[in-house]
Amino acid sequence: MNTPAASCWHCGESLPDDPPRALVTGASHAVCCQGCRAAAEWIGQLGLADYYRLRSATAPRAPDPAEARRSAAAWQRPELSRHAVRTLADGRCEALLLVEGIRCTACVWLIERALGALDGVASVQVNAVAQRARIVWEPGRTTLAAILEALARTGYGALPLDAAGLDDARRREARAALKRLAVAGFGAMQAMMFASALYLGAASTMDPATRELMRWLGLLVATPVVFYAARPFFQGAWRALKARTLGMDVPVAIAIALIYAASVVQALAGGGEVYFDSVSMFVFFLLAGRYLELRARHRAGNLADAMAGLAPAFAERVRGDGTLERVGAAELVPGERVHVAQGMRVPADGVLDGADCRVDEALLSGESVPLRKRRGDALTGGSMVVEGPAIVVVERVGADTALAGIAALVARAQSERPRLARQGERAAARFVMRTLALAALCAAAWSFVDPARAFAATLAVLVVSCPCAFALAVPAAITRALAVLAGHGVFVVHTDAVEDLALASHAVFDKTGTLTDAHLELVAVDAADRDRALALAAALARGSRHPVAQALVRAASGLPVETAADVRTVAGGGLAGNVAGSAYRLGSPAFALDAAHGDDDAVILAGEQGVVAAFRLGERLRAGAREAVAALVASGVAVEIVSGDAAAKVADVARRLGIAQWRARQSPASKLERLRALRAGGARVLAVGDGINDGPVLAGADVAVALASGAELAQAAGDVILDGANLAALPAARAIARQTLAVLRQNQRWALAYNLVVVPPAALGLVPPWLAALGMSVSSLVVVLNALRIGRRAPAPASTPVAAAGRRRWA
């Protein structure tokens, strides 16, 4: 953790040696970069400095002001803005922005006020969960470019989404589901009221005319429930029948239709028993389960959003005369030259032309160290230039790029994944079909014995055995499990993941970014005096931002470190300088010794008399990685690493974690191949990853766990999102999933036992309607109460601040 003094006031990142200072409402604060300084001062000038007091998470690192202005200005080009802006009926314009870095409610407050202050902006609606802002403005008074610039000045990067996304399907789906739920809820309450009047009236003296009225009223309120609210079940059943399968929807739809139709016949004929309350309540319970599932699904990103954020929207095209022109990345054609500034992403696949640069491909290939690229080397679109600038000759654009290829692989793996039908649902569907058969049998038997009572007895069988307890057994347990897991910082996107998580037999981990984090750490020191050597190395390394230098400085914390003089940085070599009067060199063996050393990967500290120390650095293991792997192995899961990184690095991490199986230098396609091989061998595979290159593996696994800190694409492909930095949440989540499965089975056994007891009397015509309805409600209640036990004796929740912040965004 950074102390407040050592981190940026605006974004919380660590400060450089001589930080810029921002002057906000009379006080001076240290910030990490000019972007943060401009953002903080702008927020102060707008009178919105309260933001800093109100926020519960730090702001995202602000973009460089000049850069932001250029990006925003590009949206003046009609070729770009045409797709993003929609003109409303009253002449105003509307756009939907994907805003990066909305972390807490204070961000919403800030954005709404900062943009609302802009002349011509009519309305700003920010949705923190979806990270979207919907903005309406008057075209004569302001422009999309001005709005984007204002947003950038406040410190938020934003990407206008395609105007087609304005009526996005997700919103329609959520609204339709909510309306159906409300109709079913209202209907069930009212039907229950009229039904209780009937039940009570049966015991006392209610005149037949009033009873008739109550039946008709029940019909009135249950009709919209069956024909409007329950439509998804009928549609699902119809689809399943057309595909010649028998899902859960088929028996549910048959049960709803039969009970409703029978009750209508009774109401029309007069005198018989009606079950409008049971059918409405049944629909309501089922819809409630589905609605919770839908909300969980919508909270996770979708593939389309992830794609929008992958590659940069713009490129700086180099004109014939050498000047730069900002264009949309989609406008590039092969053969053109683009300029990529340091810290920016490469807009398309191409070849480096001009000076060397270093690029970070960690998310694309799993390579943990930034790579040095020379003239003529290939650069992949989406990789970040860490040391630049780079001039790139574009070779492939759009759908031909490597990035688009990975995305396509994800989409295909996801669609090909043979979803195992949920065990619980299969059992329930089987049972419901048997009940229906039994009801038919009962009807047939009664029509021989006493046709007058056949109808009532059959209906009683249907209602008393009503698939409710069965249909609820799964959703109730799953819904409770989702809530408990969310409390642990584990967000389940696809509900079947709970079962797969509990039953997984193999776990495939990505290395870079998943088992390790972005930092290096000192693994071993080979020196006569370890502390002295570390102190000397730290003295040289203190001023450098190179990851190796920073790892050495971290390792030497607590040791007395002297000040080095005349420190020089030799690119591609290391550092040289004087400490306490003697000259030292720190870096690769070739640089420090001018000679080969037994260990080429070591970092050498050399003095005038030769080697002082050899340091071995390795990637720092993610917090909880050791515990997570150990716990998985202990519970009988075969753990394996499949990484895109070099063999030596993968072997090192595997050794430290005690993992015997590992594969290095794997492309996304070969990772997927490995997964298919495992699955072909009958394994249920749990995949854990964070990068774009893990996307296909995640999409193809039985259950995919993505890290919330990783690439959007990985999250879009994941079934489970792990929030926070600690991997130990994974075995905890597995424990809860196993408990859920146990409860689920108990629920099913209970429903089975209940039905075995009550169906025979119902079939014999011995169960009065009020008892049937009561039995149905009690059996459902038992199932729900049992589900609430999940998580009661689970391990203590990991209540880190990160998990708490994440909860707000996801739960």
Catalytic positions, please? 510
Q: Strand, coil or helix: what is 7? A: strand
Select from 190, 266, 747, 780 the one that contacts another protein (CB under 8 A). 190
Applying the rule CB under 8 A, the residues between 118 and 157 that interact with another protein are 125-130
CB nearer to another protein: pick between 110 and 477: 110
Task: Map tokens 């398309």 to a residue.
Answer: 348
Select from 15, 73, 118, 220 the one that contacts another protein (CB under 8 A). 220
CB nearer to another protein: pick between 213 and 523: 213
The stretch among 174-182, 243-251, 278-286, 777-785 that binds another protein (CB under 8 A) is 174-182
Asked whether the CA dihedral 348, 352, 354, 356 is positive or negative, the reply is positive
Instruction: State in angstroms the smallest separation of the CB of 225 from another protein.
Output: 11
Determine the Cα–Cα distance for residues 554 and 117; give it in Å rounded to an integer.
45
- DSSP-assigned beta bridge partners for residue 605: 586, 613
CB nearer to another protein: pick between 53 and 244: 53
Helix (H), strand (E) at residue 429: helix 423-449
CB nearer to another protein: pick between 44 and 689: 44
Determine the Cα–Cα distance for residues 492 and 498; give it in Å rounded to an integer.
8
Asked if 172 is part of the footprint of another protein (rule: CB under 8 A), the reply reads no
Half-sphere exposure of 705 (CA within 13 A, CB side): 27
CB nearer to another protein: pick between 181 and 253: 181
Q: Strand, coil or helix: what is 14? A: strand
CB nearer to another protein: pick between 3 and 204: 204
The stretch among 186-194, 440-448, 478-486, 487-495 that binds another protein (CB under 8 A) is 186-194
CB nearer to another protein: pick between 108 and 304: 108
Task: Map tokens 């015991």 to a residue.
Answer: 203
Asked if 479 is part of the footprint of another protein (rule: CB under 8 A), the reply reads no
Contacts of residue 379, defined as CB under 8 A and 6 or more positions apart, other chains included, come to 346, 349, 350, 351, 352, 359, 373, 390, 392
β-strands 661-663, 337-340 pairing: unpaired
Determine the Cα–Cα distance for residues 20 and 549; give it in Å rounded to an integer.
23
- The encoded tokens of residue 475 equal 């959703």
CB nearer to another protein: pick between 69 and 211: 211
b vs e for 76-101, b when ≥16 Cβ sit within 10 Å of the residue's Cβ?
eeeebbeebbbeeeeebbbbbbbbeb
Asked if 174 is part of the footprint of another protein (rule: CB under 8 A), the reply reads yes
Asked if 182 is part of the footprint of another protein (rule: CB under 8 A), the reply reads yes
Determine the Cα–Cα distance for residues 60 and 694; give it in Å rounded to an integer.
25
Asked if 766 is part of the footprint of another protein (rule: CB under 8 A), the reply reads no
Would you tell me how many other CB atoms lie within 10 Å of the CB of residue 759? 21
Calculate the dihedral angle through the C-alpha atoms of 759, 761, 764, 765, rounding to the nearest 10 degrees: -100
Instruction: State in angstroms the smallest separation of the CB of 92 from another protein.
Output: 17
Number of residues that bind another protein (CB under 8 A): 36
Instruction: State in angstroms the smallest separation of the CB of 171 from another protein.
Output: 6
Select from 15, 118, 122, 178 the one that contacts another protein (CB under 8 A). 178
Asked whether the CA dihedral 289, 293, 299, 305 is positive or negative, the reply is negative
Instruction: State in angstroms the smallest separation of the CB of 207 from another protein.
Output: 8
Select from 6, 14, 139, 179 the one that contacts another protein (CB under 8 A). 179
Asked if 47 is part of the footprint of another protein (rule: CB under 8 A), the reply reads yes
Asked if 635 is part of the footprint of another protein (rule: CB under 8 A), the reply reads no
b vs e for 322-353, b when ≥16 Cβ sit within 10 Å of the residue's Cβ?
eeeebbbbbebeeebbbbbeeebbbbbbbebe
Select from 34, 94, 109, 795 the one that contacts another protein (CB under 8 A). 109
Select from 59, 121, 221, 252 the one that contacts another protein (CB under 8 A). 221
The stretch among 43-51, 359-367, 569-577, 795-803 that binds another protein (CB under 8 A) is 43-51
CB nearer to another protein: pick between 122 and 174: 174
Asked if 705 is part of the footprint of another protein (rule: CB under 8 A), the reply reads no
Asked if 457 is part of the footprint of another protein (rule: CB under 8 A), the reply reads no
Asked if 25 is part of the footprint of another protein (rule: CB under 8 A), the reply reads yes
User: What is the secondary structure of 558-586 as a DSSP string?
Assistant: TS----EEEEEEETTTEEEEEETTEEEEE
Instruction: State in angstroms the smallest separation of the CB of 413 from another protein.
Output: 31
Asked whether the CA dihedral 540, 542, 545, 549 is positive or negative, the reply is positive
Amino acid identity of residue 109, one-letter, is W
Select from 34, 105, 670, 746 the one that contacts another protein (CB under 8 A). 105
Instruction: State in angstroms the smallest separation of the CB of 179 from another protein.
Output: 6
Interface residue list for another protein (CB under 8 A): 25-26, 44, 47-50, 53-54, 105-106, 108-109, 125-130, 171, 174-175, 178-179, 182-183, 186, 190, 193, 207, 210, 213, 217, 220-221, 808
